[in-house]
Amino acid sequence: MEKFVSRKLILTLVVVLLVAGSDMLGLDLSDETLSSLTTMVLSFVGAQGLVDVSEVIQSGRKVAAAIEDVKEVADEPEES
């Protein structure tokens, strides 16, 4: 469950509710303020997504290197 509840998801849901419900909540936020808030959150979520992708790529490279090491050891002739 922790995998599906991230800071990015919570922040996005809060902003969506804030933007959608600003009139109903009586917050009197201007369209410019709501637009700025949305832009900031989307920028944050996008940047965090790029960080997540780079971490996955690095992990994949480490796994690939480990597999190559295992193949090299497996291909070495046994000494008797």
Q: For the segment 34-48, what is each residue's pLDDT rounded down to a tens digit?
A: 899 889 998 998 898
Q: Is 30 within the bounds of a domain?
A: yes
Q: Is 1 within the bounds of a domain?
A: no
Number of structural domains (the chain) is 1
Q: Kindly write down the DSSP assignment for every residue of 33-76, as one continuous string.
A: HHHHHHHHHHHHHHHHHHHHHHHHHHHHHHHHHHHHHHHHHHHS
Give me the domain span that covers residue 12.
Answer: 7-74
Q: Is 15 within the bounds of a domain?
A: yes
Q: Is 79 within the bounds of a domain?
A: no
Given this model, what pLDDT does residue 63 score? Answer: 92
Given this model, what pLDDT does residue 57 score? Answer: 93
Q: Is 2 within the bounds of a domain?
A: no
Q: What is the pTM of this model?
A: 0.62
Q: Is 18 within the bounds of a domain?
A: yes
Q: Is 59 within the bounds of a domain?
A: yes
Q: For the segment 6-64, what is each residue's pLDDT rounded down to a tens digit?
A: 888 888 888 888 888 888 888 888 889 889 988 999 899 889 889 889 999 999 999 99
d(CA 22, CA 17): 8
